[in-house]
Amino acid sequence: MFGKITEVPMVLATLIFSYFEVLYRMIVPRPRKSIAGQVALITGAGGGIGFQESLQFAAEGAKVILVDVNKKLLNKVVTAVEEKGGTVYSYVCDITSKSEVDLLFEKIWEDVGQVDILVNNAGVMPVRKISDLSQREIELTFHLNIICHFWLIQHVLPGMKKRRSGHIVEIASMAGVVGKSMLTDYCSSKFAVVGLSESLKHELQLEKFTDIHVTCICPMFVDTHLISNVLDHSNYKTDVLLTPEHVASVIVDATLRNKFMVSIPGYLLSLVYFLKLYIPMRALIKLDEFMREGFFPKTKAE
């Protein structure tokens, strides 16, 4: 008991230092690290954010491994990266299958070697009322949006621990911070991504692997193929959507600066946590309705 009491000043000092560090980093960002020559594996690289991540990580000098289920889309990304002078490897893989993921890494170990940066980017977003979701849709959402993340991390993490360096980037969503109607399965899976990121970071810190970093990205709606179903069921205007290029640039910058939790736009995470803490759920739902139907109304021409 006495030993625990003597640790209290150290805990308080750590808390105070952490707050000052956060304030300091709001003014003076961390310097960007170099990833030249490192290997970055990106899932869902065939389009949207994954396409742009592939180009931008390659532009930073990383060798990029592109993974997608669509070979035709992958070939386009490979061509785009090579035209920019990047080093690229591509693999067709259904990452919702554990056996295919195992075979994928056998090929990667043989062709490329260890992975320094893992970007869990692939995802799917059905838009249905919970009563209309099929078993297949629910299972696919969870297998692609979260379960396969565990398999991929389990393959790359031992090598990172051996080298005592590495970076795991989890693409979550603001839908992983606040629930949305018609997106019960998607929100649940993205909440799980946020939970995985926090838990993994804590686990690595406790094991003293301080140079293995975790970055969790929570963007608002991005103008990719995933958003089309949402637009069909809402009144959001497309001009408020984030572009894949911008989102990818934030992801790469957050990785190079070893940031942990990042929302896009940057203020959104703090705002949502504040609203959830101090505003009743009934009012939040009403605010959401206003944002969808009142603040960003579609015109009749649309």
Give the CA-trace dihedral at 188, 190, 191, 192, to 10 degrees: 90
CA Rg, the chain, in Å?
20
Question: Measured between alpha carbons, how far is 200 from 187 in angstroms, rounded to an integer?
Answer: 20
Question: Measured between alpha carbons, how far is 65 from 42 in angstroms, rounded to an integer?
Answer: 6
Q: One of 186, 236, 273, 278 is an active-site residue; which one?
A: 186
Question: Measured between alpha carbons, how far is 248 from 265 in angstroms, rounded to an integer?
Answer: 13
Residue 116 phi/psi, 5° resolution?
A: -95, -35
278 classed as catalytic: no
Question: Measured between alpha carbons, how far is 222 from 247 in angstroms, rounded to an integer?
Answer: 8
Find the helix or strand (DSSP H, E) in which 215 lies: strand 212-219
Question: CA nearest 152: which of 200, 191, 187?
Answer: 200
For residue 165 the two structure tokens come to 């360096």
The pairs formed by 99-107 with CB atoms below 8 angstroms and a separation of 24 or more are 101/148, 101/151, 101/152, 101/155, 102/151, 102/155, 104/67, 105/155
Catalytic residues: 186
